[in-house]
Amino acid sequence: MMQRRFKQVDVFTAAPCLGNALAVVLDGADLDDAAMQRFARWTNLSETTFVLAPTPAGRAAGADYRVRIFTPGGELPFAGHPTLGSCHAWLQNGGQPQSAALITQECGVGLVRIRRDGARLAFAAPPLTRTNPAPALLAQVSQALGLRPDQVIAAQLLDNGPVWLGLWLDSSDTVLALAPDHVRLKTLGQKVGLAGAYSAQHASSLIAHSNREARAFAGRAQPSEAAPDLEVRAFAAPLGINEDPVTGSLNASLAQWLIAEGLMPARYLAAQGTCLERAGRVHIARDAGGQVWVGGESVTCIEGTVTL
């Protein structure tokens, strides 16, 4: 056991207690899997990360640091809010990236690029694999969520490390009104992510302006926040988290899917956490090369040491 530097960071918010909390152990050297998992259970946060030196292969490929990401129920190969929060904590702790333009994180899925966008950090969404879900799974999940078939416009299994069943619903109101059966969702063993636009008319207007907005994103400060364009909820009962406040990996895969299908524009603002009395904001933008970037602000709430 030793004293290790520690920060607790709120991610996807500039104001404390409105985003998604993350525990970051800034020196995870010599901790075994059991110790990491035990501490993640103890924090009882949706994720806890441990910052490590890159592997030799990772360092040779440009990695600045490595993270391992744990939920109370197990380790994840990648997750979005731990990526931004760990990077924020690493930089605040004096971390110096090899490149002035990009920070490179090593994690279970490989290397993840992170760039600074004014006061925000944004990660490059990892490659996405998406497939059609089995009709039986979709029906069972819909029943557990209390959804009618006509409220589900489209569905995909989204895999960018974590696997989510993504559901595109008929409206943001439908997303916000759901009261899922979390016990049943846990039995089904499937994490579920929901998204719904605030109005079809507004979404159509955004899509019409997507090319202009995507060009405006590159390298410049974003405009003042307007009302969000999309409402997102994430249910992860199989990992011991009934509802996650703000979920970067899910927002990344939703963005890649919805933009590719023309359901959302190349740049938009997603809200998440509303039903948990949070105000998470996720800034999505696809650049001219087709890369989707997922951005948000972070704020440190607690710092000190932890005995591990």
pLDDT of amino acid 206: 41
> What's the confidence (pLDDT) of residue 78?
92
HSE toward the beta carbon, residue 84, CA cutoff 13 A:
37
Residue 86 lies in a domain: yes
pLDDT of residue 218: 33
Q: What DSSP designation does 24 have? A: E
Q: 233 and 115, same structural domain?
A: no
- What are the backbone angles phi and psi of residue 232, rounded to the nearest 5°? -125, 140
Question: In this structure, what is the dihedral angle of CA atoms 197, 200, 204, 210, given to the nearest 10 degrees?
Answer: -10
Same domain, residue pair 136 and 64: no
In the chain, the largest separation of any two C-alpha atoms, in whole Å, equals: 58
Domain assignment present for residue 52? The answer is: yes
17 in a domain, yes or no?
yes
Extract the tokens encoding 195. 């998204």
Measure Cα distances from 256 to 197, 198, 232, 259 in Å.
Answer: 15, 19, 14, 6
User: What is d(CA 227, CA 281) in angstroms, rounded to the nearest whole number?
Assistant: 10
Please identify every residue annotated as catalytic: 47
47 lies in the same domain as 139: no
Would you say residue 189 lies in a domain? Answer: yes
The DSSP 8-state label assigned to residue 29 in this structure reads T
- 176 with 105, same domain: the answer is no
Same domain, 220 and 88: no
Q: Are residues 14 and 86 in the same domain?
A: yes
**CATH number assigned to the domain comprising residue 242:** 3.10.310.10
How many degrees, rounded to 5, is the angle at CA 184 between CA 183 and CA 188? 120
Let me know: does 82 contact 43? Beta carbons within 8 Å: no
Q: What is the pLDDT of residue 225?
A: 57
Nearest to 280 by CA among 299, 263, 261, 267: 299
Q: Are 64 and 178 found together in one domain? A: no
pLDDT the model gives residue 187 = 96
Q: Which amino acid is at 40?
A: A
Q: How many structural domains comprise the chain?
A: 2
Residue 145 belongs to some domain of the structure: yes
pLDDT score, position 114: 98
Residues spanned by the domain of 214: 129-290
Phi, psi of 210 (to 5 degrees): -65, -40
What pLDDT score does 239 carry? 84
Whole-number pLDDT of residue 202 = 47
8 Å CB contact between 293 and 12 = no
What one-character DSSP code corresponds to residue 277? T
Distance CA 80, CA 282 (A): 10
135 in Cβ contact with 149 (< 8 Å): no
Same domain, 134 and 105: no
Q: Say which amino acid occupies 273.
A: G
- The separation between CA 128 and the C-alpha centre of its own chain, rounded to angstroms, equals 14
For residues 290 and 253, what is the distance between their CA atoms, to the nearest angstrom? Answer: 14
Spans of the chain, pLDDT less than 50: 201-224
pLDDT digits (tens, 9 = 90+) for 68-102: 999 988 999 999 999 999 999 999 999 999 998 89
Tell whether 124 is covered by a domain. no
| 65 shares its domain with 139 | no
Looking at the structure, do residues 152 and 245 belong to the same domain, yes or no?
Answer: yes
Beta strands in 108-143 (DSSP E): 110-117, 120-124, 129-131
Res 88: pLDDT: 97
Residues 262 and 134 in one domain: yes
CA 304 vs CA 26, 246, 300: distances in Å: 10, 25, 11
> 103 with 223, same domain?
no
